[in-house]
Amino acid sequence: MIRKLLVTSIAAATALAAVPTLAQNGQQAIEEIQVTSTLRKSAGLADVNAAVSVIGEQELDLIKLTHLQEALNRLPGVSIHRNNGQESLLAIRSPVLTGAGACGSFLVAENGIPVRSSGFCNVNEMFDTHSENASSVEVVRGPGSAFWGSNAVHGLINVVLPKAGDAGEIRLEQGPRGSQRLRGSFGHDYGNFKQLLLVNGTSEEGYRDDSGVDQQKVSWLYNYTMQNGANLDGGFTMINLNQETAGYINGTDAFEGSVRDTNPNPEAFRDSVNGRAWTTITQQVADWEIVMTPYLREVNMTFMQHFLPGQPIEDTEHRSIGFQFAAYKDLDNGANLAIGFDIEDTDGSLKQFQPNPTSGSFFLRNSIPQGKHYDFDIDIRQYAGFVNYEQDFGNGWDISLGLRLEKMEYIYNNNMIDGRTNEFGVACRFGCRYNRPADRDDSFTNVSPKLGLSYALNDNHDLQLRVQRGFRAPQATELYRLQNSQTVADLDSVELDSYEIAFKGAGENWNYSASWYFMDKENEIFTNSARENLNDSHTSHRGIEFAMGLDITDTLSVQGVFNLAKHTYENSQLSGGVDINGNDVDAAPNTFGNLRLQWRPISSVTTELELVNMGDYYTNPENTASYEGHDILNWRTQYAFNDDLTFHLNVLNATDEEYAERADWTTFNGDRYFPGEPVRAFFGVTWKYK
Higher-scoring residue by pLDDT: 575, 660? 660
Give the pLDDT confidence score for residue 57 in this predicted structure: 94
What is the value of pTM for the model shown?
0.94
Mean pLDDT across the stretch 485-494?
91
Residue 477 in 3-state DSSP? helix
Q: How many CB atoms lie within 10 A of CB 169?
A: 18
- Give the chain's mean pLDDT: 92
Mean pLDDT across the stretch 476-485?
93
Alpha-carbon distance of 502 to 513, in angstroms, equals 7
Give the pLDDT confidence score for residue 688 in this predicted structure: 96
Q: Does residue 491 have a pLDDT over 70? A: yes
Structural domains of the chain sorted by starting position, each given as residue range(s) with its CATH number in brackets: 2-688 (2.40.170.20)
Mean pLDDT across the stretch 394-403?
94
State pLDDT tens for residues 540-581: 999 999 999 999 999 999 999 999 999 999 999 888 888 999
Q: Residue 450 in contact with residue 403, Cβ under 8 Å?
A: yes
**Alpha-carbon dihedral 421, 425, 429, 433, rounded to 10 degrees:** -10
The strand ranges marked E within 226-268 are 231-244, 249-250
Q: Residue 483 in contact with residue 531, Cβ under 8 Å?
A: yes
Query: Nearest 5°: phi and psi at 256?
Result: -100, -5
Query: Nearest 5°: phi and psi at 363?
Result: -65, -45
R_g (Cα) of the chain, nearest Å: 25
Q: Residue 124 in contact with residue 149, Cβ under 8 Å?
A: no
For the chain, the straight-line distance linking the first and the last C-alpha, in angstroms and rounded, comes to: 49
State pLDDT tens for residues 36-86: 767 777 776 666 788 999 999 999 999 999 999 999 999 999 999 988 889
Q: What is the DSSP string of 572-633?
A: --EETTEE-TTPBPSS--SEEEEEEEEE-SSTTEEEEEEEEEE--EESSTTS--EE--EEEE
Q: How confident is the model at residue 529 (pLDDT cuts 50, 70, 90)?
A: low
Alpha-carbon distance of 42 to 112, in angstroms, equals 11
Mean pLDDT across the stretch 445-466?
95
The alpha carbon of residue 609 and the mean position of all alpha carbons in its chain are separated, in whole angstroms, by: 26
Alpha-carbon distance of 667 to 96, in angstroms, equals 19
Which is nearest to 103 in space by CA: 90, 93, 84? 90
Which is nearest to 566 in space by CA: 587, 537, 542, 593? 542
Q: Does residue 183 have a pLDDT over 50? A: yes
State pLDDT tens for residues 333-346: 999 999 999 999 99
Q: How confident is the model at residue 23 (pLDDT cuts 50, 70, 90)?
A: very low
Give the pLDDT confidence score for residue 5 in this predicted structure: 44
Residues with Cβ within 8 Å of 537's Cβ and at least 6 positions away in sequence, in order, are 524, 525, 526, 569, 571, 573
Higher-scoring residue by pLDDT: 668, 630? 630
Residue 498 in 3-state DSSP? strand
Alpha-carbon distance of 385 to 44, in angstroms, equals 25
State pLDDT tens for residues 187-196: 999 999 999 9
Residue 102 in 3-state DSSP? helix
H-type helices in 429-588, by residue range?
Answer: 476-480
Q: Does residue 447 have a pLDDT over 60? A: yes
Q: Which of 23-32, 48-57, 206-215, 401-410 has the lowest mean pLDDT?
A: 23-32
Q: Residue 510 in contact with residue 26, Cβ under 8 Å?
A: yes
Q: How confident is the model at residue 20 (pLDDT cuts 50, 70, 90)?
A: very low
Q: Does residue 380 have a pLDDT over 90? A: yes
State pLDDT tens for residues 289-320: 999 999 999 999 999 999 899 999 999 999 99
Which is nearest to 373 in space by CA: 223, 262, 241, 477? 477
Give the pLDDT confidence score for residue 190 in this predicted structure: 96
Which is nearest to 144 in space by CA: 340, 463, 444, 402? 402
Alpha-carbon distance of 565 to 165, in angstroms, equals 43
Tell me how many helices (H) and strands (E) the chain has: 6, 40
Q: Which of 390-394, 396-400, 574-578 has the lowest mean pLDDT?
A: 574-578
Q: Which helix (H) or strand (E) holds 186?
A: strand 180-189
Alpha-carbon distance of 76 to 59, in angstroms, equals 16
Mean pLDDT across the stretch 388-412?
95
Q: How confident is the model at residue 14 (pLDDT cuts 50, 70, 90)?
A: very low
State pLDDT tens for residues 563-573: 999 999 999 98
Residue 640 in 3-state DSSP? strand
Q: How confident is the model at residue 31 (pLDDT cuts 50, 70, 90)?
A: low
Give the pLDDT confidence score for residue 104 in this predicted structure: 86
Bridge partners (DSSP) listed for residue 610: 596, 634
Amino acid at 688: K
Mean pLDDT across the stretch 269-275?
96
Give the pLDDT confidence score for residue 32 in this predicted structure: 61
Percent of the chain with pLDDT over 70: 94
Q: Does residue 689 have a pLDDT over 90? A: yes
H-type helices in 634-688, by residue range?
Answer: none
Give the pLDDT confidence score for residue 30 in this predicted structure: 54
Mean pLDDT across the stretch 163-178?
95
Q: Does residue 265 have a pLDDT over 80? A: yes
Q: Residue 462 in contact with residue 44, Cβ under 8 Å?
A: no
